[in-house]
Amino acid sequence: MGKIRQGILGGFNGTVGTVVGGSWKGTAYMRGKAQSIKNPRTEKQMAQRIKFGLAQKFVKVMTAYLQAGYRNYTQHQTATNAAMSHTVRNCMVGKYPSFGIDPSKVLVSSGSLMPGRFSSVKVANNIATFAWEDNSDESHASMDDFAMPLIYNFTKREAIFTTEDASRVDCKATLKLPTDWDGDMLSCYIAFASVQNNSVSNSVYVGDVKPDGSVVAGANGILYNDGVIDKTPNTNTGEGDNKDNTNQGGGTSQGGGTSQGGNTSQGGGSTDGDGNGDNVDF
């Protein structure tokens, strides 16, 4: 039985016939009542489930970072669900049943603020040093915008990041890599966030960490869910999921490790930022 709480023109909660009413983040919605399908497990459905699972594991160690990087998307969904949606739609490569996430397509932050210029990373003695050119005189960029560097470990599905330790004018930020990350597949991202309003930049994919400590775009290839590593140029976008997007990243969270700087997340956590798994727009 459905209950109308705001009069005849208001939304309702519950079931009326084949219609289900409810609300999410203050917005009323109606949907058709789910029908029993008995899990036919078609190839298309199984492919989507694999992609969803990959995206879920990918974002869950960055929850705190994504809450900053996707904070302009939280009116109708959580920041983590917005990041999952982008990952499933734009970052998947491969063909069923083997899929991977293309690091160069990842967006760990999405917004209209001016990103940094000429971003680079060097790694030495387990310290990653991010550098960029101060462009605080461009567009709406400001000297005190926070820099948000992030390194994602595709091998261990962990991340380190910081969101408030350096400013745009500093032109440098550092992250300390865990000692057990040596030889893992690491990708580097950086984004910027305004301290004056809610503006954030798109994250920028700086590149992958090579054994010699240099960072080069595409150096590590793509790790697939079956353990295969593909270092060849990607031409198979997997059912049209990949679009030409520039990657951008920020923050740091450690999967089960000690967080660095402000606003960091750890390896556990739920699929979305506030514990809800609803309304992931794929």
Last residue of a domain, one of 192, 211, 230: 230
Are residues 59 and 161 both part of a single domain? yes
pLDDT digits (tens, 9 = 90+) for 201-259: 999 999 999 999 999 999 999 999 999 999 885 544 444 333 333 333 333 333 333 33
In degrees rounded to 5, what are phi and psi of residue 138? Answer: -100, 135
pLDDT of residue 120: 98
User: CATH number for the domain including 77?
Assistant: 2.60.40.10
pLDDT at 110 over 80: yes
pLDDT digits (tens, 9 = 90+) for 131-162: 999 999 998 999 999 999 999 999 999 999 99
Are residues 16 and 66 both part of a single domain? no
- The percentage of the chain sitting over the pLDDT mark of 90, rounded to a whole number, equals 65
The answer to whether the beta carbons of residues 240 and 151 sit under 8 Å apart is: no
- Look over the chain and give the mean of its residue pLDDT values, rounded to a whole number: 82
| Least reliable range by pLDDT among 2-16, 52-66, 71-85 | 2-16
Are residues 17 and 136 both part of a single domain? no
The answer to whether the beta carbons of residues 84 and 271 sit under 8 Å apart is: yes
**Can you say how many angstroms the Cα of residue 14 is from the centroid of all Cα atoms in its chain?**
33
Domain-embedded: residue 180: yes
Are residues 22 and 154 both part of a single domain? no
Are residues 24 and 55 both part of a single domain? no
Are residues 23 and 87 both part of a single domain? no
H-helix or E-strand containing 158? strand 158-161
Domain that holds residue 55: 43-230
- The percentage of the chain sitting over the pLDDT mark of 70, rounded to a whole number, equals 74
Q: Which of 71, 75, 160 is nearest to 123 (CA)?
A: 160
The answer to whether the beta carbons of residues 34 and 47 sit under 8 Å apart is: no
pLDDT digits (tens, 9 = 90+) for 57-77: 999 999 999 999 999 998 889
Are residues 187 and 115 both part of a single domain? yes
Are residues 214 and 76 both part of a single domain? yes
Are residues 19 and 49 both part of a single domain? no
Domain-embedded: residue 12: yes
pLDDT of residue 280: 54
d(CA 257, CA 160): 9
| Amino acid letter, 48 | Q
| Least reliable range by pLDDT among 6-15, 60-69, 70-79, 83-92 | 6-15
pLDDT at 15 over 60: yes
d(CA 190, CA 175): 12
- Tally the domains of the chain: 2
Domain-embedded: residue 281: no
pLDDT at 271 over 60: no
Are residues 9 and 100 both part of a single domain? no
Are residues 20 and 71 both part of a single domain? no
pLDDT of residue 8: 55
Domain-embedded: residue 99: yes
Mean pLDDT of 189-211: 97
In degrees rounded to 5, what are phi and psi of residue 71? Answer: -70, -15
User: CA dihedral defined by 214, 217, 218, 220, rounded to 10 degrees?
Assistant: 20
pLDDT of residue 160: 99
Three-state secondary-structure class, residue 68: helix
Are residues 77 and 204 both part of a single domain? yes
